[in-house]
């Protein structure tokens, strides 16, 4: 076997040329493209990394905001709870005060109404008593009823001091008659007897007139020009009513 | 007298230079490879189509194989190693085509490739280590190893050449004999086997060349 050195040399040159051709048309463009793709991938990766970092930062911000919101919510809820408790306490206190005021007002109203009812009952009792008394008195003869009252009047006038009796007498000095008002019409004998005994007790010399007022129930009234001496059950009942009313108001 | 089947047939002469069949076949292979690469890489895009993906896959696979062996940036060796593998695949498989003889089936082409590998190993070794450092590496691990290391440089280059030549040439011989003796379709399984052998031999040649270069630059133990 013999080596063809020309062929060896030509094949060596051919391989060198092929190396250049493939470097020119294959390796260089392919490697350039691969490098560009890697660079693009790296750029996109970096961009994605940057976006991820931003997203993480935003997430951290949102977490912080959420934590702040939760804290604020807790604080607000706490404040609202305290405020609600205070309002409830105030409402309870106000309701207690209102209820106490209502109870007090009701008690006062009840007391007033009870007092009014008692007054009314007393007044009715007095009226009833006066009515009974008037009915009973109507069964007693007039001269007996008058005898009792003239004795009382006479006793009262005799008990007056001159300083009390003289001003009364002076009112009748100019001829003005003394008016005697009785609850019923007195018989003429009783009338004369009353005049006699009153002239003696008061030291009068003038005239006297008699009038009738059934409202007196029993007894009589001596009407001077500027004064009235009352000796009737009407005045006694009026005094009793006044005392009962005064006693009721004092309780 | 019948010419030896081991010799290359001269097709024509350019002056004193005899142009043999392997040279012409190599030119055709070069033209086809350059044309295909030019057509495919003319419009590359960020989103590759099928052809671009195949080419990128081949290139990245070769780079990965180089990096696995050399443990350095594969780009400085890509043009030599990648072209060696692609040319050997194309040359070995060209023998399967009717009327085409594989250039690697003649001794001159494997010899040329072995010589290129031989000188490339020294080039990359000197570039990586410097002349003194590279020459000192022949005396490692002991000075007594110096003659053996020098001899191994020659013998491994010779074995590289003979292995490729012997496998491709024998395959063609077997196919030729079977065709002559048995008929047209009988050698088809042998042709399939020859394709496998061609691919394996291209891979072996390329990996051995890479290992030699890696040893020269100091990344692979000799």
**What ipTM was reported for this prediction?**
0.92
Is B5 part of a structural domain of the chain? no
Q: What pLDDT, on a 0 to 100 scale, did the predictor assign at position A191?
A: 87
Residue B22 falls within a domain, yes or no? Answer: yes
- Residues in CB range of A19: below 8 A, 6 or more apart: B79, B80, B83
Nearest to B8 among A7, A26, A40 (CB): A7
Lookup: tokens for B169 = 């040439």
Please state the rounded mean pLDDT for residues B78-104: 93
The pLDDT, as a whole number, for residue A250 is 66
Residue B215 to chain A, least CA–CA distance (Å): 22
CB atoms within 10 A of CB B43: 9
Domain range for B26 is: 10-216
CB contact under 8 A, A8 and B23: no
Chain A residues close to B33, C-beta within 8 Å: 18, 21-22
Residue B175 is assigned to a structural domain of this protein: yes
| Type and span of the H or E element at B62 | helix B50-70
Which residues on adjacent β-strands are paired with residue A180? A210, A222
Question: Regarding the domain delimited by A141-250, which CATH topology (the fold level of the hierarchy) does it fall under?
Answer: hypothetical protein PF0899 fold (3.30.2320)
- 3-state percent helix, strand, coil for chain A, nearest multiple of 5: 80, 10, 15
Residue B131 belongs to a domain? yes
Question: Among partner residues B18, B26, B106, which is closest to A6 by beta-carbon distance?
Answer: B18
pLDDT at B1: 46
Q: What is the mean pLDDT of residues B4-26?
A: 85
Contact A3 B33 (CB under 8 A): no
Residue B2 has pLDDT above 60, yes or no: no
Query: Considering the domain boundaries, does residue B63 fall inside one?
Result: yes
Name the pairing type of β-strands A228-232 and A219-223: antiparallel
Residue B1 lies in a domain: no
DSSP tag of B103: G
Given B23, B34, B83, which is nearest A10 (Cβ)? Answer: B23
pLDDT for B144-190, tens place per residue? 888 998 999 999 999 999 999 999 998 888 888 887 888 777 778 88
Domain boundaries, chain A: 9-139, 141-250
CB of A16 within 8 A of CB of B117? Answer: no
Q: How far apart are CA B73 and CA A38, in angstroms?
A: 16
CB B169 within 8 A of CB B105: yes
From residue B131, how far is each of A98, A100, A237 by CA, in Å?
115, 118, 159
Q: Give the pLDDT of residue B179.
A: 79
- Min Cα separation B99/chain A (Å): 20
Q: Does A11 touch chain B (CB under 8 A)?
A: yes
- Specify if B181 maps to a domain: yes
pLDDT at site A51: 95
Window B:136-195, CB contacts with A under 8 Å: none
Per the structure, the count of domains in chain B is: 1
For residue A251, the model assigns a pLDDT of 59
Task: Check whether B222 has a pLDDT greater than 70.
Answer: no
List, for residues B95-109, the tens digit of each pLDDT value: 888 888 899 999 999
* Residuewise pLDDT in 10s, chain A (251 residues): 678 899 999 999 999 999 999 999 999 999 999 999 999 999 999 999 999 999 999 999 999 999 999 999 999 999 999 999 999 999 999 999 999 999 999 999 999 998 888 888 888 887 888 788 878 877 888 777 777 888 888 888 888 888 888 888 888 877 788 899 988 888 888 888 888 888 888 887 778 889 998 888 888 888 888 888 888 888 888 887 788 777 766 65
- Residues in chain A closer than 8 A to B107 (CB atoms): 1, 3
Does residue A25 belong to the interface with chain B, where contact is any CB pair within 8 Å?
Answer: yes
Query: Residue B172: what pLDDT?
Result: 84
Q: What six digits make up the tokens of A29?
A: 């463009």
């Amino acid at each position: 076997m013999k080596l063809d050195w020309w062929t060896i040399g030509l094949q060596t040159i051919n391989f060198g040329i092929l190396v250049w051709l493939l470097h020119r048309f294959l390796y260089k463009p392919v490697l350039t493209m691969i490098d560009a793709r890697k660079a693009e991938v790296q750029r996109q990766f970096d961009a994605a990394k940057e976006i991820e970092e931003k997203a993480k930062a935003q997430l951290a911000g949102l977490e912080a905001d959420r934590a702040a919101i939760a804290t604020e919510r807790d604080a607000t809820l706490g404040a609202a709870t305290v405020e609600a408790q205070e309002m409830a306490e105030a409402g309870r206190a106000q309701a207690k005060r209102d209820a106490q005021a209502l109870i007090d007002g009701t008690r006062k109203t009840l007391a007033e109404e009870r007092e009014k009812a008692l007054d009314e009952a007393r007044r009715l009792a007095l009226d009833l008593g006066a009515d009974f008394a008037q009915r009973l008195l109507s069964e007693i003869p007039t001269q007996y009823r008058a005898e009792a009252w003239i004795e009382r009047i006479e006793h009262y006038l005799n008990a007056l001091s001159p300083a009390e009796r003289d001003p009364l007498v002076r009112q009748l000095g100019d001829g003005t008659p003394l008016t005697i008002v009785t609850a019923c019409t007195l018989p003429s004998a009783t009338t004369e007897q009353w005049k006699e005994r009153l002239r003696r007790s008061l030291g009068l010399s003038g005239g006297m007139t008699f009038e009738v007022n059934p409202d007196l129930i029993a007894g009589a009234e001596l009407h001077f020009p500027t004064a009235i001496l009352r000796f009737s059950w009407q005045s006694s009942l009026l005094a009793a009513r006044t005392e009962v009313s005064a006693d009721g108001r004092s309780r | 007298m019948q010419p030896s089947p081991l010799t290359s047939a001269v097709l024509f002469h350019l002056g004193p230079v005899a142009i043999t069949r392997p040279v012409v076949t190599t030119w055709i292979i070069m033209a086809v490879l350059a044309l295909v690469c030019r057509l495919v890489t003319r419009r590359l895009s960020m989103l590759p189509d099928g052809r671009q993906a195949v080419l990128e896959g081949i290139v990245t696979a070769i780079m990965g194989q180089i990096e696995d062996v050399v443990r350095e940036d594969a780009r400085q060796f890509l043009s030599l190693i990648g072209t060696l593998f692609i040319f050997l695949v194309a040359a070995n498989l060209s023998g399967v085509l009717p009327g085409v003889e594989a250039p690697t089936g003649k001794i001159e082409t494997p010899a040329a490739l072995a010589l290129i590998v031989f000188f490339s190993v020294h080039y990359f070794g000197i570039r990586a280590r410097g002349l003194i450092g590279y020459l000192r590496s022949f005396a490692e691990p002991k000075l007594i190893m110096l003659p053996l290391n020098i001899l191994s440089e020659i013998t491994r280059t010779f074995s590289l050449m003979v292995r490729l030549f012997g496998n491709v040439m024998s395959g063609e011989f077997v196919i030729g004999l079977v065709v002559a003796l048995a008929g047209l379709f009988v050698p088809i399984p042998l042709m399939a086997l020859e394709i496998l052998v061609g691919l394996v031999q291209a891979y072996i040649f390329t990996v051995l060349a890479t290992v030699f270069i890696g040893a020269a630059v100091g990344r692979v133990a000799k």
